[in-house]
Amino acid sequence: MTESSDIRFLLTIQDSGSLAAASRKLGVSPSAVTQRLQHLEKNLAIRLLDRTARKLRFTEEGLLLCQRGRGLLQQFDTLFEDLHERSSGLVGTLKINAPLGFGRRYVAPAVTAFQQQHPHITVALTLSDTPMIETVDRFDIVVHIGELQTSNLVGFSIAPNARFVCAAPSLIKRFGMPASPADLAHLPCIVLAENNEDVSLWTFSKGKTRRSMRVASSLSCNDGDVIRQWACEGQGVILRSEWDVADDLRSGRLIRLLPTWKTPDADVIALTHNRTGLPARTRHFMEFLQGRFKPTPPWRT
């Protein structure tokens, strides 16, 4: 009979990406990992991993065991965490992923404040400039900004967030104020390379009118702070989240362009595996994070 520890062992291999990485995480030798895997496969009388491939590849049976086993373990852990919570408060490890810029400015302070309130919770925060949706199984919560592609994940609203086209006053003085999206063709633009998106295609709407504009990017970067700084220096026009440019707009370092044209919103959401049955620590942090942006997010105050 397969025990919960065997499922945890197999999930460690899946999350690690290799037997060698799993051995380091488990604190045992690679041969010990291989032997335990062989023993598990022998007991189940099925092959779980294809070890002849260049890359670690799970069989269909191995993927099924990981997928369903992860859900069963989550329910099992949640049960005992809820029992423990009744007597001694929130416990366990909370794994969070968030975008670099937004994570530094807003998620990281929320994490420290939450952990101070619940010292028995260990929080592991990962900030990344690449989308983590495809590896969400490694996290309890993934903070995401913008439209979410088709997914089985459950999204919880965190805060509204518009996107603005902006430029420095010095650039507008040189090139003039654009009157329509088409005028952006005559201005240098800067794009943020993120989320595997078509970042040079900017979409606008005014009532029922839709316009898509392919901008010529004189500069590009995968760091939002860098492109915002370039824009403030007058290097080009940017399309950027409201949360990131609100202070610069208020101070006059940047000017919002085409205010009568709307670009698609990029609301802040938090993604989890399920809407119900979440561990207490995950539920409480979700509510705590939502509370940090109510009734009005800081970029609109």
Q: Are residues 245 and 175 in the same domain?
A: yes
Output 297 or 87, whichever has higher pLDDT: 297
pLDDT in tens, 202-236: 999 999 999 998 998 889 998 899 999 999 999 99
Would the pLDDT of 298 be above 60? Answer: yes
Number of structural domains the chain divides into: 3
Q: Which domain holds residue 217?
A: 163-257
What per-residue confidence (pLDDT) applies to 1? Answer: 44
What per-residue confidence (pLDDT) applies to 280? Answer: 82
Q: Are residues 154 and 168 in the same domain?
A: no
* Domain containing residue 49: CATH number: 1.10.10.10
Q: Are residues 273 and 296 in the same domain?
A: yes
What per-residue confidence (pLDDT) applies to 292? Answer: 95
Of the candidate ranges 115-129, 156-170, 249-263, the one whose mean pLDDT is the lowest: 115-129
Helix (H, G, I), strand (E, B) or coil at 53: coil
What per-residue confidence (pLDDT) applies to 132? Answer: 55
Is 60 part of any domain?
yes
Q: Are residues 157 and 172 in the same domain?
A: no
Torsion of CA 281, 293, 241, 248, to 10 degrees: -130
- Burial degree of 285 (CB within 10 A; 0-12, 13-18, 19+): buried
Output 65 or 274, whichever has higher pLDDT: 65
H or E segment at 36? helix 30-44
Cα 287 from Cα 289, distance rounded (Å) = 5
For residue 128, give the nearest of 118, 117, 138, 120 by alpha carbon. 138
Q: Are residues 116 and 156 in the same domain?
A: yes
Instruction: Give strand pairing partners of 220.
Output: 191
Q: Are residues 142 and 120 in the same domain?
A: yes
Quote the pTM value.
Answer: 0.70
Segment 61-73 shows an average pLDDT of 87
Q: Are residues 245 and 177 in the same domain?
A: yes
Would the pLDDT of 88 be above 60? Answer: no
Q: Are residues 140 and 277 in the same domain?
A: yes
Q: Are residues 220 and 296 in the same domain?
A: no
For residue 222, give the nearest of 189, 191, 192 by alpha carbon. 192
Would the pLDDT of 150 be above 60? Answer: no
* Domain containing residue 209: CATH number: 3.40.190.10
